[in-house]
């Protein structure tokens, strides 16, 4: 491994609470790690969204940018970088990715229209449903086999998409592809797959948008895994990715290395004007988009920093470091390693628990009790649905615990501690009981859900 491509200038103290305290705290939180307070967490692997460490250049820009309701210089700095990196003609800033999703779907999706995607993540799925649309996933079948190692398990199943479009063109409002594919383990999508998805969209005259949440990490996977791209620069690959799309939504809290912010960009002037008009109503004036101007400056610099090969190599190698530690100890992980997190197969980890007892949520609870570590469940609580006719739970194919590594935050010593803690739980896994969900709202229910132990 190469050393980190940075020096550490500032640190934040973290403290480990007692195990007896953690048992009480997680019970008070309804066995939902979202309800825990940050001061009660030792290592926080809940998400990589908004949790990156910012650089000295980003912090400096926050102080030097001019705050203005309209016409701030930081907007025009960001505009220049968006054009350089993504290549789109038009864009609006938004306060985070889901705000961009809401603007896009409110503008393009009518009730009962379908949005095909390789895999919708939770907020994307919820925003489609919120406007009356129907989110459908067409990821390749390999994605549902955690053991299988193939390079691009995040790909759209092109045959399924083509067959669906041939029969249902009039029902489809737009096609999306999410890079990387978070829902199935942070898996990469190939450039060839993006290009062919775009060709299907063009043939049926449907807009094609990319959920660009982790576009830089996906570009790095293309560089190291896809034939013909090893000698190409990261930004060259990124420009090609977005050349096939009509636009993108983007959370700046990930690959722009900021704590807040996002973008919605497009080459379609009609779509842009619809979105911009709605933005003024819901987010604010187009040159600030619901953000303090300093956040726009942070995004502009973060986009430049996250699209360098040295940074992306470090990022990939650190995630891979934890994955190898767990895999070598026999922990059932999703293979190959994802771009932003290590995913554990909860159904295999707790193979004595039925999926209706939320195995990955159980693992999230146990990891907090054992070591003060917060991961997040992406499985039955997050993606399970209730059949409206029978009242029975519709179980997702995957039930995963995500250990998400914030960018430029933790050292490999922290990750050693994480690995040791997971291994300890695995050694006593047969003694652990599952959970019963006692409350969840209808949309994005996992954020506010409450559980109790199965007796």
Q: Which domains does the chain have, with CATH numbers?
A: 19-48+309-453 (3.90.1150.10), 56-306 (3.40.640.10)
Joined together, the tokens standing for residue 61 give: 């820009």
Mean pLDDT of the chain: 96
For range 260-271, the mean pLDDT: 97
Res 444 pLDDT > 80? no
pLDDT, mean of residues 342-370: 97
Phi, psi (rounded to 5 degrees) for 403: -105, 95
The per-residue pLDDT for 225 is 97
Task: Kindly state the average pLDDT of the residues 412-433.
Answer: 98
pTM: 0.94
Give the C-alpha distances (Å, rounded to integers) separating 72 from 86, 235, 246, 296, 319: 21, 26, 27, 9, 37
Percentage of the chain modeled with pLDDT above 90: 93
Mean pLDDT, rounded, for 398-421? 97
- State yes or no: pLDDT of 373 exceeds 80: yes
Q: What confidence tens digit (pLDDT) does each residue in 71-106 have?
A: 999 999 999 999 999 999 999 999 999 999 999 999
191-206: burial string, b at 16+ Cβ within 10 Å, e else: bebbebbbebbeebeb
pLDDT 10s digits, 123-182: 899 999 999 999 999 999 999 999 999 999 999 999 999 999 999 999 999 999 999 999
Q: What is the pLDDT of residues 170-212, one digit of tens each?
A: 999 999 999 999 999 999 999 999 999 999 999 999 999 999 9
> How far is residue 188 CA from its own chain's centroid?
12
Query: How high is the pLDDT of residue 386?
Result: 78
pLDDT confidence band for 299 (50 / 70 / 90): very high
pLDDT of residue 371: 98
- With cut-offs at 50, 70 and 90, classify the pLDDT of residue 443: confident
pLDDT at 344 over 80: yes
Instruction: Give the pairing of strands 341-345 and 393-394.
Output: unpaired
Over 90: is that where the pLDDT of 442 sits? no
SS3 389: coil
Q: Which pLDDT score is estimated for 296?
A: 97
The pLDDT value given to residue 446: 86
Torsion on CA atoms 267, 269, 275, 281, rounded to nearest 10 = 140
For residue 422, pLDDT over 90 is answered with: yes
Q: Please give the pLDDT value at position 389.
A: 80
pLDDT greater than 90 at residue 427: yes
Nearest to 150 by CA among 161, 162, 158, 141: 141
Question: Which two structure tokens, joined as six digits, stand for 436?
Answer: 């019963």
What does the pLDDT read at residue 264? 97
pLDDT at 440 (0 to 100): 86
User: Is pLDDT above 80 for 388?
Assistant: no
pLDDT at 390: 81
The pLDDT assigned to 190 comes to: 98
Using one digit for the tens of pLDDT, what is the confidence trace for 21-32? 999 999 999 999
pLDDT at 252 over 90: yes
- The confidence score (pLDDT) of residue 308 equals 98
Say whether pLDDT at 391 is over 80: no
CB atoms within 10 A of CB 359: 30
| Alpha helix positions (H), 283-411 | 293-306, 309-328, 346-349, 359-371, 380-383
């Amino acid at each position: 491994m190469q050393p980190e491509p940075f020096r550490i200038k500032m640190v934040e103290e973290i403290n480990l609470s007692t195990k007896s305290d953690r048992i009480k705290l997680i019970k008070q939180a309804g066995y939902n790690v979202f309800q825990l307070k940050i001061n009660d967490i030792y290592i926080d692997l809940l998400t990589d969204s908004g949790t990156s460490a910012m650089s000295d250049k980003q912090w400096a820009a926050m102080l030097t940018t001019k705050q203005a309701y309209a016409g701030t210089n930081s907007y025009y700095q960001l505009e220049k970088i968006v054009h350089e990196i993504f290549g789109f003609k038009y864009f609006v800033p938004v306060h985070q990715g889901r705000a961009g999703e809401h603007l896009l779907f409110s503008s393009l999706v009518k009730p009962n229209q379908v949005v095909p995607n390789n895999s919708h993540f939770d907020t994307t799925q919820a925003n489609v449903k919120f406007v009356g649309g129907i989110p459908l996933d067409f990821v390749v079948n390999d994605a549902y086999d955690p053991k299988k190692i193939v390079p691009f398990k995040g790909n759209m199943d092109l045959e399924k998409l083509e067959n669906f479009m041939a029969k249902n063109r009039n029902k489809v409002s737009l096609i999306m592809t999410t890079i990387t594919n978070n829902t199935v383990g942070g898996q990469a999508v190939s450039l060839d797959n993006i290009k062919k998805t775009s060709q299907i969209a063009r043939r049926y005259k449907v807009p094609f948008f990319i959920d660009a949440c982790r576009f830089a990490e996906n570009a790095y996977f293309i560089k190291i895994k896809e034939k013909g791209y090893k000698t190409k620069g990261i930004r060259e690959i990124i420009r090609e990715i977005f050349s096939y799309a009509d636009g993108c939504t983007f959370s700046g809290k990930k690959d722009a290395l900021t704590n807040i912010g996002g973008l919605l960009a497009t080459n379609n002037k009609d779509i842009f004007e619809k979105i911009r008009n709605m933005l003024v109503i819901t987010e604010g004036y187009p040159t600030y988009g619901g953000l303090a101007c300093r956040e726009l400056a942070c995004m502009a610099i973060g986009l430049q920093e996250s699209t360098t090969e040295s940074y992306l190599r470090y990022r990939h190698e650190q995630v891979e470091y934890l994955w190898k530690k767990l895999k070598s100890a026999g922990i059932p992980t999703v293979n190959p390693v994802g771009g932003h997190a290590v995913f554990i197969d909860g159904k295999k980890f707790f193979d004595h628990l039925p999926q209706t007892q939320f195995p990955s949520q159980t693992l999230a609870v146990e990891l907090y009790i054992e070591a003060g570590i917060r991961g997040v469940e992406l499985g039955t609580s997050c993606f399970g649905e209730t059949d409206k006719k029978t009242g029975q739970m519709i179980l997702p194919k995957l039930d995963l615990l995500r250990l998400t590594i914030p960018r430029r935050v933790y050292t490999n010593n922290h990750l050693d501690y994480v690995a040791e803690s997971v291994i300890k739980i695995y050694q006593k896994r047969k003694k652990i009981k599952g959970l019963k969900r006692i409350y969840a709202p209808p949309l994005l229910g996992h954020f506010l859900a409450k559980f109790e132990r199965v007796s």
